[in-house]
Every structure is written in C-alpha cells, then in structure tokens.
Amino acid sequence: MNAFHLFRVMLALAVALPAAAQEPQYPQRAVRLIIPYTAGGATDVLARIVAESLTSRLGQPMVPENRPGGGAVLATAQVARVAPDGYTLLFTTAAHSINATLQKNLPFDPINDFEFVGKVGQLTFAIIVNPALGAADLGSLVNLMRASPGKLQFSSAGIGSPMHLGGELLKHLTRTDAMHIPTKGETVALTDLLGGRVAFMLCSITTCASRIRDGSVKAVAVTSASRSPQVPNVPTAAEAGVPGLETYTWFIIAAPKGTPNDVVTRVSAALNDVLQDAKVRSRIAAMSIEADRSSTPERTRAYVQSEIEKWRPIILATKAATN
C-alpha cells in the first residue's frame, strides 16, 4: 500500500469513527410491550416480570400494555402495523401459532410479518381425571375411550386453546374418540371435572399441581418431554405409553417485520441475560413455567413455524377453524 493510499484510508477512518461513536444506542426512550391478554392472568404476570428485568438491562422503561380481545388477534395485528423501530414489541403465546390455522382470515402473517426476538419459556399441562372415573393411569383412560367411542367427555378453556388441542392430539395418537366440552376458562373446566360432568381434561400445572398433590384429581401424565418438578411422581405421556403427546402453552417476544437486526439482537441478548438470572428464574418457576435460557431469534422463528405445522392438521380435523 503506497503512502497516498494509506493516507486516504486513515482519513476515512478518522471521519467514520466519530460518527459511529455518536450513533445513539437503542433504546433512547420507553419501549411498549403489548400483551394481548387481560391484566392479572398468567401471561400478564410473566410479561411484567420480564419487562421489569429488561428495563434494568436496556436502560429505558419497558412498559407493559394490555390489549385483550379477539383471541390475541387484535393486539397482534396492531403490532404488525406499527413502525418497525423497536419501540413496540409483542409478548404473546402459543395462540400465535394456533391462530395461523384456527383463524382463516388473519389480518397478518404470523411468520412473515414479524421478527422473533426470543422464547421466554413454556408451561406444561397435566392430563387429569376425576378419581371416581377409575382410570389409574393413561393407559386405563385410553382403554375407556376406546371402549366407548365419543361417549367420554373432556373439558377445556375453549375451542382452539392448547388444552383443547392437546385433548384432540391424544385422540389422534391413540385412535380413540371423546367429546370436547369447551368452557369459558380453565377454572370453569376444572369445576366441571371436579363435579363429575366430564371425564378428563388437560390442566396447566400452575392451576392443578395443588389439586394433584391433595388427591382431589388424579394426574395420569404430563404433556412435557420430561417430568414436572411440581409433580415429579407423574409420568410423562411418553413414559405412560403415548409418545408424541407433547403440548405446552409458550411465551415469546416478537417485533414488527423490518425491525433493525441490531435492535432485535440487543433485546434478544438482554432477554437471555434476564433468563439466566437466578432470581428471575425463581419467580418464573413459582408460576410452574420453565424458562428458556438459550433462545435465539432464529430458533424462536423455527419453533413458531414448527408449532404452526404441528397443530394445522389437528385443527383442520376438528373443523374448528373460523372465518
């Protein structure tokens, strides 16, 4: 390199470096975290734990905003339309993948209209029965379903909920049948089971762990890949003889499509740092939620896509999709 060329390179660096040094680091103001659910529910509580911890790491307030309605569609559509500047993020759940098939005319593309920041964690379910049913294990429940096709009933928090689709997946994998009874929430569904009006249900560990421990319900399996620390004596569905029966409600953070990569990377790194924090993990574990401590934008996108593909045939088979 001759002296003149070297001079030009050094001059260019001298001009560029101060400009780069003056580039303001994201974020420079408060960031809105849109939650498509009502205040006080599990998703809201988890989102606020995460928002509080991200605030300290990003140096600006992460402000939760509840925008319930339309099965998470309304808030998600709003986030899809806002300026992709990193100042509006979405805290959503498994509904994001389920709605891809359940809602025939979504006002957004659940994959291509978003940048995926990271997966926060997941909550598993227990398959529970009323003790009076006499099903000592998952195999016994399956045998009862097989002996009386379509006569046993199972309850859920509503059509298209992970609890409903998990029950449909159980039917699919075991080639059995049972009648779905949708209700207006998990608590109502559990009340129906306790009252003997339905035979079984998928119940979140958060809601049902104490009931399982006191014997008011019988858990025949959990729907996770490994046993739940909250009910360690309950086998996984695979251990109980039904491999492939895995279903969760999960939680992710996403941003509008076109959000700068450096912004997505910064929030993703901060999220991973949050989920490595023992105090945060302890607060999340108290909700029976398993934190994902190694999430990346790429893995989160692939996971959401895989969930869409997993649930599409199950939803279509139930004819639950709506216009």
Are 88 and 152 contained in the same domain?
Answer: no
CA-nearest of 109, 60, 58, 53 to 81 is: 109
Residues 81 and 115: their CA atoms lie apart, in Å, by: 13
Residue 122 near residue 290 (C-beta atoms within 8 A):
yes
pLDDT of residue 24: 81
CATH of the domain at 136: 3.40.190.10
Residue 163 located in a structural domain = yes
Position 4 scores a pLDDT of 47
Per residue in 161-194, pLDDT tens?
Answer: 999 999 999 999 999 999 999 998 899 999 999 9
pLDDT for residue 294: 87
* Domain assignment of residue 95, yes or no: yes
Residues 118 and 128 in one domain: no
What's the total number of domains in the chain?
A: 2
User: Is residue 14, in this structure, part of any structural domain at all?
Assistant: no
Task: Answer yes or no: do 49 and 69 share one domain.
Answer: yes
Are residues 58 and 117 located together in one domain of the fold?
Answer: yes
Range 54-64 average pLDDT: 97
Residues 128 and 264 placed together within one structural domain of the fold = no
Residue 91 lies in a domain: yes
Domain boundary among 222, 238, 261: 222
**Shared domain check, 209 and 133:** yes
Cβ-Cβ contacts under 8 Å for 214 (sequence gap 6 or more): none
16 domain-assigned: no
Q: Cα–Cα distance between 112 and 114 in angstroms, integer?
A: 6
Per-residue pLDDT tens for 18-38? 544 456 899 999 999 999 999
Distance CA 256, CA 83 (A): 7
Which pLDDT score, from 0 to 100, does residue 321 have?
A: 66
Per-residue confidence (pLDDT) for residue 9, from 0 to 100: 47
Is 205 in a helix, a strand, or coil? helix
Q: What pLDDT does 59 receive?
A: 96
- Structural domain boundaries enclosing 113: 31-122+249-318
Alpha helices in the chain (DSSP H): 3-21, 42-58, 73-81, 95-102, 138-147, 162-174, 186-194, 205-214, 261-276, 278-285, 297-318
User: Would you give the distance in Å from CA 157 to the centre of its chain?
Assistant: 15
Asked whether residue 202 falls in the same domain as residue 269, the answer is: no
The answer to whether residue 81 scores a pLDDT higher than 50 is: yes
Assigned domain for 72 exists: yes
pTM of full prediction above 0.85: yes
